[in-house]
Amino acid sequence: MGRDPTSFLKEEYKELVDNDLDWRIRVLQGASSARCMVDGRSVIMLCSNNYLSLSNHPKMKAAAVRAVGTHGAGSGSVRPIAGTMDLHVELERRLARFKHAEASLVYQTGFAANAGLIPQLVGKGDLIISDELNHGSIIDGVRLSYADRAVYKHCDMADLERVLLEAERHTPVYRRLLVITDGVFSMDGDIAPLDQIASLTERHGAMLYVDDAHGEGVLGDGGRGIVSHFHLDRSKVHVEMGTFSKDFGVVGGHVSGSQDLVNFAYNRSRTWLLSGSHPPAVVAACTAAIDVLESEPQHVRNLWERTKEFRGAMARSGFDTGRSETPIIPIMMGESATAKRFSQRLFEEGVFALPIVFPMVSKGKARIRTIMNATLTKEDLELAIAKFEMIGKELDLI
């Protein structure tokens, strides 16, 4: 009998564990909130994408319950066959209005939007130009395309222009150029200079695609995102992609832009065409989240107040918060083992903040990635800050 062909699974997992590069899953017992139960312990939540805590908003929960009563538990099909309900159509109408876009299309997840649309926008004879720190879903979407690929240095406009100029001299001439960037970079919390990128793409005749998953609900007028933040003409950003799983507090992806974009996307994106559509409760809750953002601006204001307080306290304590400009605030640790030890000590002290290690970030750039929440109380934030300072001194980091 020969060697077990699956033995590599155990071996490679053990290697991850031995090098402190494995994920150790903790279990949330109850709702995602600023104070919650994780693995039987009451903790202050500092690693959820539920920035505005909308997943617990009474309007959203009530909308979800009503939708189950009127439309059932599931949609019954994929969107192009029998899975498009009036609830889906209304959500897309409301989202487009919120984004000040001509049209929007809802995908099953943000990952599905990137993986499904990017390889359809460009193919053989085209070029994709991507920021070096773009999200993994963008990277996988690019890999699924037959287009040539180029990478520019992170948020470096001179380097982006260099790549665009080289692309114009390419033989044979590229049919299409597509520049892709995150809006807010999820590991560092910095913001792409989208106004400058839009100027360059317009000058060189390239399409512009921005993944604003972490910008919605954070940046722009009423949380409308990075296009609003930079007051850009909608025609200069050809694809604005986003997600309902973060500030909107539910789940799902979406793209906004021209009606032509949406018509193209739902006819060509296999992730959209071949995946079951969102159940009624999810769709109704997403629509209710838009209602909340439009009528209750205090949530976004509270989020930025917590962000300013926490980042300031970390800086005064001597921690390195990297390039952060947003509620994503990395506390740089360096080595993976240090980040994991720091996270474990935080958990023991009642603070839930996860380590981010290689390969999600470069070797030597491990960090505790904290994400602020609009409903953190002053007392909880002060306690969390005190625990960071205590453990930082304990581990000789500050």
Contacts of 294 (CB under 8 A, 6+ apart): 98, 222
Rounded Cα distance between 173 and 241, Å, is: 28
Contacts of 226 (CB under 8 A, 6+ apart): 183, 184, 191, 192, 194, 210, 212, 215, 219, 220, 240
Q: Where are the alpha helices (DSSP H) in the chain?
A: 7-18, 58-71, 86-99, 110-121, 136-143, 157-168, 194-204, 226-229, 259-268, 270-273, 280-295, 298-317, 336-348, 378-394
Active-site residue, selected from the candidate residues 246, 254, 299, 365: 246
214: annotated active-site residue:
yes
245: annotated active-site residue:
no
Residue 334 phi/psi, 5-degree rounding, is 95, -90
**Contact yes or no for 135/182 (Cβ under 8 A):** yes
Q: Which amino acid is at 97?
A: R
Rounded Cα distance between 241 and 271, Å, is: 15
Rounded Cα distance between 216 and 160, Å, is: 25
Active-site residue, selected from the candidate residues 57, 88, 214, 278: 214
**Contact yes or no for 134/153 (Cβ under 8 A):** no
Burial of 5 (0-12, 13-18, 19+ CB in 10 A): exposed
363: annotated active-site residue:
no
Half-sphere exposure of 362 (CA within 13 A, CB side): 5
Q: Do strands 103-107 and 148-152 pair parallel, antiparallel, or not at all (unpaired)? A: unpaired
Q: Which residues of 8-42 are buried (b: 16+ CB within 10 A; e: fewer)?
A: eeeeeeeeeeeebbeeeeeeeeeeebbbbebeeee
Active-site residue, selected from the candidate residues 186, 228, 336, 343: 186
- Per the DSSP assignment, residues forming a β-bridge with 253 are 107, 243
> Could you list the active site residues?
186, 214, 246
